Amino acid sequence: MYSDYYNYGTTTATTAAGLAAGLIVLFVILGIIALAAAIVYLIGVMKILKKAGKPSWGAWVPGYDSILLCEVAGIDPRWVLIVVYSSVACIIPIIGWLATAAALIYFAILLNVSLARAFGKSDGFAVGLILLPVVFYPILGFGSAKYGKVNPMNDIIFKKKN
């Protein structure tokens, strides 16, 4: 009588296997969504580079895409090296992380504001480029915005020499 009561529910192994299978399905779905978002973003970058007369295939090469976007926006491409090598500072606890985060945030603002201005868009549009690049990069690439006068944001690190 007691043995039937204790064997009524699922076992711990069955519950753990079901939980693991559910997590695997969740991660696969999230991975597919992330891949689709990355492809949409990269196609938007391709269209932006094509509008600016740069090689559109460069959007698919990590690092080179950032250099091309810097050239399109009119900012110094050395920023890409600063951002890449700033990750070395992360070995210093707290201060290194803060310095890296500051460099990344400054570069994102500098690049996106300058990119929006190069296509005749407002600085408010640049906020969209920063916060929702999956939406705003394709809007910039597929939209009616024309690549025009490069008017980069004032860079406090690499000042332009006139």
- Spell out the residues 6+ positions from residue 80 whose beta carbon is closer than 8 angstroms to its own: 63, 66, 67, 70
Report d(CA 57, CA 61) in Å as an integer: 8
- Spell out the residues 6+ positions from residue 149 whose beta carbon is closer than 8 angstroms to its own: 118, 120
**pLDDT band at 162; cut points 50, 70, 90:** very low
Residue owning tokens 């753990």:
16
pLDDT higher than threshold 80 for residue 158: no
Percent pLDDT > 70 in the chain is 88
At 25 the pLDDT is 94
* 120: amino acid identity, one letter: G
pLDDT higher than threshold 70 for residue 8: no
**pLDDT band at 120; cut points 50, 70, 90:** very high
* Between 150 and 47, the higher pLDDT residue: 47
Report d(CA 79, CA 71) in Å as an integer: 11
Dihedral angle sign, alpha carbons of residues 111, 68, 57, 104: negative
pLDDT higher than threshold 70 for residue 127: yes
Q: Which of 23-27, 71-75, 80-84 has the lowest mean pLDDT?
A: 80-84
Q: Specify the DSSP class assigned to residue 110.
A: H
Q: 24 in helix, strand or coil?
A: helix
* Between 13 and 62, the higher pLDDT residue: 62
* Between 123 and 150, the higher pLDDT residue: 123
Dihedral angle sign, alpha carbons of residues 159, 88, 132, 37: positive
Report d(CA 34, CA 51) in Å as an integer: 26
Contact at 8 Å (CB) between 149 and 118? yes
Percent pLDDT > 90 in the chain is 57
What's the predicted TM-score (pTM) here? 0.80
Mean pLDDT over 17-26 rounds to: 90
Structure tokens at 84: 């890449």
